[in-house]
Amino acid sequence: MLSLKEAFEITGHGKSLGKPSKMPGFSTAIPASLCKVGAKLRKIKGSSCSICYAFRGNYGTPSVKKGLRRRFEALEHKDWTRAMFKLIAHYTDPADPYFRIHDSGDFQSVEHILRWVKIAELNTGIMYWAPTKEYRMFRKARALVDSWPVNLIIRLSVPMIGARPPRSWAGMLSSTVNAGIGHECPAPTQDNACGPCRACWDITVENIDYHKH
């Protein structure tokens, strides 16, 4: 059985999981610079990636960038899934069981997504949420899973600010920026924090509309 120390080393998290100040629970992250679709969108004016917060503030400091890179490289470890599961299961508060996948970065492969499917299946008492612009990757992973875990919420993120989800996304969970549809993120009215809101992790909420920031 893996120890916590070994799990931290395997996942590249040093001595702690990520802890976004505005959100409940913990998170993990990899470099936003290594997003596949996002790297292309970052060059397009008016896209949400062109104003990505993960290139500003603490994310740009040498120590944080080093840690993000270390966690990216750790994805290759054969025991990554088992180690990540152990850390999340150990540290998540059962009274507020929410985990954010990628407060920086995005899925790197279909296999990467399937690892998170496995983690969600191993602990159904924790809710997982990730936004993604890797649409094709997600659809391929979805097709490989007979019974998608209800506690793994992956939202397809609309690429352009002010745009609505395309009709081809019907039946998929999504997120938008300044589109004026769906559940409006309340963070701007509550000190830029989730507060009691858990809509991002709620499978019954079809679309989350964030404010440009």
- 54: pLDDT strictly greater than 90: no
In the structure, what pLDDT confidence band is assigned to residue 21 with cuts at 50, 70 and 90? confident
Closest CA to 24 of 194, 210, 200: 194
Residues 171, 167: Cα–Cα separation, whole Å: 9
Closest CA to 129 of 174, 93, 160, 166: 174
Q: Are 136 and 169 in contact (CB under 8 A)?
A: no
Q: Are 53 and 29 in contact (CB under 8 A)?
A: no
If you average pLDDT over residues 61-89, what whole number do you get?
Answer: 95
- 55: pLDDT strictly greater than 90: no
Q: Tell me, what's the pLDDT at 169? A: 95
Q: Tell me, what's the pLDDT at 83? A: 97
Q: What is the pLDDT of residues 131-184, one digit of tens each?
A: 999 999 999 999 999 999 999 999 999 999 999 999 999 999 999 999 999 999
Considering the chain, what is the average pLDDT of its residues?
95
Residue 113, C-beta contacts closer than 8 angstroms, at least 6 positions apart: 107, 134, 137, 138, 141, 154
Written in H, E and C, the secondary structure of 88-157 is HHHHCCCCCCEEEECCCCCCCCHHHHHHHHHHHHHCCCCEEEEEECCHHHHHHHHHHCCCCCCCEEEEEE
Closest CA to 13 of 23, 24, 26, 32: 26
- 15: pLDDT strictly greater than 90: no
